[in-house]
Structure 1
Amino acid sequence: MQTIGFDRYASIFFALIGFTFLIESRKIADSAYGSDVGPNVFPFLLGLILILLSVKLFFETLNSDKKRKSPEKLEIKRFLIIFAMSVFYAAFLETLGYIISTFLFLFISFQAMEKGSLIKNVTISALFSICVYFLFVELLKGSLPGLPVWFN
């Protein structure tokens, strides 16, 4: 039952991080120059989603105490790959632009979770990156880092 305890503590930890996102996003200016959507929207929504997912995980672990018979092993390697990609994503978002950095983050994370479905992972990563970029920039009139200068 090692993972159940870990999941509970992780859900509480991530709920606190999500709450911090909510609080800190309120301190960011409401609108950016030339944008209808302010820079506080994404951190606020990410914090809210993180809290909701954490609550879901917490209640799932409460209900799974009775159902689990054998302990599951922790996937440390997968966690470290996705964590490293998160750090890479944050570090190179401005340099590589939203589309390329998001594509790389999603593709490598998907490959870490499910090896072998290369075409499916490339397709989903590319479509998500491009669609979110154009929906946010064109429809919501927001601003995201575009393609890098050397790409143009």
Structure 2
Amino acid sequence: MNTMFDRYAGIVFFAIGTTFVIGSRSISTSAYGSNVGANIFPMMLGAFLALMSIRLIYDTFRKQQTKKHKENLDYKRFGIIFVSAVLYALFLEDIGFVISTFLFLMIGFQTMQKGRVWVSLLISAAFSYGVYTLYVNGLDGSLPGFPTWLGF
């Protein structure tokens, strides 16, 4: 862990998060067919990014770097998750939120830690369907549903 890099990255990400929160205030507060406006998601992401940045900055001040070592970067895992994130964004409308989120989470979990497939299946299915249900039914938002060729 390079505390100097983490500190500067935390400051930059805090500025980006704050910009997202401020910028989301100028986005429309309502959307067609949805009670949740287009401004909610960027505002929540910006606030989350700002809070995590504050935590990172706090940790860099609290922890003194005692051991200097170079970490080996894992390009293979990064590549797999990056490609799966791009494919997730491309196929979100075509195969729906639940299926695409489930597949993305499964790939991510299995990339980070091989094995424990049943636990990954359970968490991925519960999260993707739970978020969809909460957002669509609880908040009256709109997300791409299941594909029509599945018959749902």
TM superposition score normalised by structure 2: 0.83
Q: CA deviation at 1:74?
A: 4.8
Give the distance between the partners of 1:10 and 1:71, measured in 2 at CA. Answer: 19
Deviation at 1:146, TM superposition (A): 0.6
Question: For structure 1, which runs of at least 5 residues remain unmatched after alignment?
Answer: none
- RMSD (CA atoms): 2.2
Structure possessing the higher radius of gyration over alpha carbons = 2
Q: Name the structure 2 match of 1:109.
A: 108
Change in 2 beyond 3 A, CA 1:108/1:44: same
How many residues are aligned here? 150
**Gap runs ≥5 in structure 2:** none
Change over 3 Å in CA distance of 1:116–1:7 after alignment to 2: farther
- In 2, the alpha carbon distance for the partners of 1:28 and 1:124 equals 33
Q: Output aligned runs, 1:46-65, within 5 Å.
A: 46-65=45-64
Counterpart residue identity of residue 73, structure 1 = E
Q: Distance in 2 between matches of 1:11 and 1:81?
A: 25
Distance, in Å, in 1 between the alignment partners of 2:49 and 2:79 is 19
Identify if the C-alpha distance between structure 1 residues 81 and 137 changes in structure 2 by more than 3 Å, giving closer, same or farther.
Answer: same
Residues 11 and 40 (structure 1), Cα distance of their counterparts in 2 relative to 1, 3 Å cut:
same
Which residue of 1 is the match for residue 125 of structure 2? 126
Q: Which shows bigger deviation, 122-131 or 22-31? A: 22-31
Q: Distance in 1 between matches of 2:81 and 2:9?
A: 16
Cα displacement (A) at 1:6: 3.6
Cα pair distance change 1:88/1:79, threshold 3 Å: same
